[in-house]
Amino acid sequence: MSHFDEMTCLLYMEGQLDADHAEEVRSHAATCTECRGLLRALQTESVWLRESLEADDESVPARLVQAPEHGGAPWGWISALGLSAGGAYTVWSGFIEPWQAQAAQAGFTQGNLLTMLFFSGAFWKGWDAMRSLIELLAMGTLGLVVMWLLRRHLRRTTALAVVMGALALAVALPPSAGAAELKHGDPNYSLPAGEVIHTDLIVSAASTRIDGDVEGDLIIFSHSVTVNGHIKGDIIAFSQELRVNGPVDGNVRAMVQNLQLYGTIARNVLAWAGDVNLDQDAKVNGTLTTGSGHLEVNGKLVGDLLAFSGDVDINGQLGRNARIRGGNLTIGSRAEIAGQTTAQLRQPPDVSTGAKLGSPLDWTITKSGSETRYSSGRYYVHQILKWGASFLFGLVLLFLVPGFYFDAVKACAKTAPAIGFGVLFLFAIPIAAVIVCITVVGLGVGISAMMFWVITIYAAQVLVGGWLGEKILGEGAGVGAALGRLALGLAILRALGMLPYLGGWISFVVVIWGMGAVALAIYKNMRPQLAAAAAVV
């Protein structure tokens, strides 16, 4: 009998032939080598086709199933670019430029506040090596990106390569600029008078008393701190109460409940505290920057004063300008201010007639945001521009990491796990980053973690907005559909955030929700690599 064609063989494999015809095909294939080979080839192709259709990660690209778009004016792209430009402008004009101007008027002549704090030795020694550290981090990040792009070809070696790369980066980090002595109180710590620490001193104790001298920096984590000795470096304190009686050749950086200065500070003072008191015998040769509930300046301040405080009392000497933003301002009869004093207050200032001012006091009454923002058209313009900035950020995410974007948006549907992980990571990441930074060796890792934490907080609204748009409009294929849903979702979230009293809580829930979705998406993308690494081991 003649050979069978491919259609007859396919019908035979699918069981579509009648019994007599099927028996003829079976008998012929048993004696004909050519037809038997054709049957085997068609069976193999059927298995491949079935496996490819059942595979989870081999979905049909959206561009193949989407209907061809008609030509026309790219109004969507023009609107997106216009809104992005507006968002960039409002970020600069509404946030960055005013802060730079305030810092310059407050006497930060080294550039701006961040430059002074982080790159001029204010918080830590060894910042001159930051350029090398950033270069190493950039190389490590580039390596991670390359491995991510090649993950399909290196499924079994990616996790191992990431671990080895991280170890190599940790080994390549520059060593600490100098040694430091670590002291743990049991439960208290005291440095006796006459004793000298020739390096930096790091103390963790319930109560700390420094009567001796420290030639380096003094870094303290304690409930109560009293410094009577001579500190030749900086004082960096995280405590309930800090009292500085002795001289300090460097800066004082304090995040405390109560700060009392009685000695001479050779450089600057930066304090975030409940109460700050500059005694009449104290002297600060640099600037005084505070964010506090109550501030008293009774001593001598050679530089500028920049105060964000509820109540400010000035009864001492200021050698330059004072810029104050707070609730109440009292200038006593012994006050002497050589420069210009500018104040934004909630109550009229109380200025004694005996005060000596270099120029007339320039003050204005400010109302709370809730009293004025809803009646100002500028507030609504800023909200539109902020919506444009968030839409631009989502556009960047969608084009740079589309797979991760869609995974994170889908993860928002798991509301309870996402919010739970979001609460955990919202508070755990900054705490872990601070702990890692204290070890010095992990400084780069801690800073990178904080940067990722900040970016994730801003990205949360984008991911939740994309999910909300899909819930309203339904799922759609293609980038254009995702952009439309993202725009709608962000607009709804922006409108909800403007609600009085409830807007802040809604924004907080969105932040933890989106952070949890990011955590779930990261876990989903890392799971194949972890499984491959476990299989190799």
| pLDDT top residue among 288 and 414 | 288
pLDDT level of residue 214 (50, 70, 90 thresholds): very high
Q: Is residue 270 domain-shared with residue 377, that is, in the same domain? A: no
User: Would the pLDDT of 248 be above 90?
Assistant: yes
Tell me the two tokens of residue 530. 């972890």
Q: Which of 342, 368, 394 is the last residue of a domain?
A: 368
Q: Does 123 reside within a domain?
A: no
The boundaries of the domain holding residue 302 are 180-368
* Spatial separation of the C-alpha atoms in residues 295 and 311, rounded to whole Å: 6
Q: Which of 350, 368, 386 is the last residue of a domain?
A: 368
Contact 255, 272 (CB under 8 A): yes
Q: Is residue 212 domain-shared with residue 306, that is, in the same domain? A: yes
Q: Does 89 reside within a domain?
A: no
Task: Please give the pLDDT value at position 36.
Answer: 79
**Digit-coded pLDDT (tens) for 21-37:** 888 888 887 888 888 77
**Digit-coded pLDDT (tens) for 323-373:** 998 888 999 999 999 999 999 888 889 999 899 988 888 988 876 555 556
Q: Is residue 356 domain-shared with residue 378, that is, in the same domain? A: no
Q: Does 130 reside within a domain?
A: no
Backbone angles phi, psi at 480, to 5 degrees: -60, -45
Amino acid in the structure at residue 23: E
Contact 284, 262 (CB under 8 A): no
* Spatial separation of the C-alpha atoms in residues 41 and 153, rounded to whole Å: 28
- Mean of the per-residue pLDDT values of the chain: 76
Q: Is residue 392 domain-shared with residue 346, that is, in the same domain? A: no
Q: Is residue 242 domain-shared with residue 353, that is, in the same domain? A: yes
Domain total in the chain: 3
Q: Does 137 reside within a domain?
A: no
Q: Does 101 reside within a domain?
A: no
Whole-structure pTM over 0.75, yes or no?
A: no
Q: Can you state the percent helix, strand and coil of the chain, rounding each to 5? A: 50, 20, 25
**Digit-coded pLDDT (tens) for 301-329:** 999 999 988 899 999 999 999 999 888 89
Q: Does 154 reside within a domain?
A: no
Which sign does the torsion angle of CA 48, 54, 57, 61 carry? positive
> Which of 140, 160, 47, 113 is CA-nearest to residue 323?
113
Q: Is residue 414 domain-shared with residue 526, that is, in the same domain? A: yes
* Spatial separation of the C-alpha atoms in residues 183 and 45, rounded to whole Å: 72
Element (H, E) at 189: strand 188-191
**Digit-coded pLDDT (tens) for 453-474:** 888 888 888 888 888 888 888 7
> Which of 491, 486, 461 is CA-nearest to residue 478?
486
Q: Is residue 284 domain-shared with residue 383, that is, in the same domain? A: no
Q: Is residue 209 domain-shared with residue 354, that is, in the same domain? A: yes
Q: Is residue 215 domain-shared with residue 364, that is, in the same domain? A: yes
Q: Does 451 reside within a domain?
A: yes
Amino acid in the structure at residue 127: W
Residue owning tokens 């001012």: 357
Q: Is residue 438 domain-shared with residue 291, that is, in the same domain? A: no
Q: Is residue 385 domain-shared with residue 340, that is, in the same domain? A: no
Task: Please give the pLDDT value at position 431.
Answer: 82
For 216-349, strand residue ranges (E) read 218-227, 235-244, 252-261, 264-265, 269-278, 283-284, 288-297, 300-301, 305-314, 317-318, 322-331, 336-337, 341-345
Q: Is residue 459 domain-shared with residue 426, that is, in the same domain? A: yes
Q: Does 81 reside within a domain?
A: no
* Spatial separation of the C-alpha atoms in residues 333 and 236, rounded to whole Å: 33
End-to-end CA distance of the chain: 57
Contact 225, 206 (CB under 8 A): no
Neighbours of 215 (CB within 10 A): 15
